[in-house]
């Protein structure tokens, strides 16, 4: 009996420092989407390029494939975030599409003539045209969970939200374009000490994870598009 207890004691002691099991999803990041900082391309003091950001929306097909994107309201703030990142580089001026500007100027002129507006408009000024049109596309989205069980440390679950975004600059004259891609991720970790009364429920999906992944992806994509434009001679440095 003592021998049996001794063997069980040694077994428990040994297992106490061992891992029971784990589940882990494979992750892969291509070279063209690896993390880049916008600060790497922000040391600039030269001529700026006028660009127009087209309205960014998520297609119904993509929403059907990934309902979490609609719930996380992805698409509503992409244009605003990209403007902030690109403006940080001191390389771009932001203009609206010519048709939109004309319509607004016409409305303002009519209002001033009717006395609706206190600002008088005496003529149509010259409109600065965009040299590039900027669009944003989502090319990857996934949510994965990894889990590690240990008799010593208990359980650790990690939920990873990944979002891939591509920023495209299209030349307004000849239609050629540059692209910059970025993959952003956000991790939510759930830990529990010991395995007694183990909570095996999956981690609840957090919308904040999409927001973090979006900002990371857009920073990398914006930095990479500027690097590509420097390489092509659009900017000197």
pLDDT in tens, 179-205: 999 999 988 887 776 555 455 566 565
Radius of gyration of the chain (CA): 27
pLDDT in tens, 37-95: 999 999 999 999 999 888 665 667 767 777 766 665 555 577 888 899 999 999 999 98
What ranges make up the beta strands (E) of the chain? 19-23, 49-53, 92-94, 132-150, 154-171, 177-192
| Residue 230 in this model has a pLDDT that exceeds 90 | yes
Range of lowest pLDDT (7-16, 36-45, 152-161, 223-232): 7-16
Q: Place 217 in a pLDDT band, splitting at 50, 70 and 90.
A: very high
Confirm if 233 and 182 have CB atoms less than 8 A apart: no
Among residues 220, 142, 235, 126, the alpha carbon closest in space to that of 181 is found at 220
| Residue 109 in this model has a pLDDT that exceeds 70 | no
> According to the model, what pLDDT value does residue 177 have?
93
> According to the model, what pLDDT value does residue 204 have?
63
> According to the model, what pLDDT value does residue 54 have?
81
How far is the C-alpha of 41 from the C-alpha of 50, rounded, in Å?
Answer: 17
> According to the model, what pLDDT value does residue 13 have?
45
Confirm if 204 and 161 have CB atoms less than 8 A apart: no
> According to the model, what pLDDT value does residue 6 have?
38
């Amino acid at each position: 009996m003592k021998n049996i207890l001794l063997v069980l004691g040694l077994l428990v002691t040994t297992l106490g420092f061992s891992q029971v099991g784990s589940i882990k999803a494979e992750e892969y990041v291509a070279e063209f989407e690896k993390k880049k900082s916008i600060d790497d391309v922000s040391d600039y003091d030269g001529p700026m390029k006028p660009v127009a950001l087209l309205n960014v929306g998520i297609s119904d097909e993509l929403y059907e494939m990934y309902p979490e994107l609609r719930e996380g309201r992805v698409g509503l703030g992409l244009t605003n975030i990209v403007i902030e990142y690109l403006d940080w580089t001191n390389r771009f001026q932001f203009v609206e599409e010519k048709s939109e500007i004309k319509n607004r100027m016409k409305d303002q002129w009519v209002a001033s003539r009717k006395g609706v507006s206190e600002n008088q408009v005496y003529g149509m000024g010259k409109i600065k045209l965009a040299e590039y049109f900027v669009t944003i596309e989502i090319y990857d989205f996934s949510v994965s969970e990894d889990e590690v069980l240990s008799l010593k440390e208990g359980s650790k679950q990690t939920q990873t939200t990944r979002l891939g975004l591509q920023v495209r600059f299209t030349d307004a004259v000849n239609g050629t374009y540059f692209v910059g891609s970025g993959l952003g991720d956000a991790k939510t970790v759930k830990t529990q000490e010991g395995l007694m009364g183990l909570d095996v429920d999956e981690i609840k999906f957090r919308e904040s994870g999409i927001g973090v992944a979006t900002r990371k992806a857009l920073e990398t994509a914006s930095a990479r598009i500027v690097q590509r434009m420097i390489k092509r001679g659009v900017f000197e440095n």
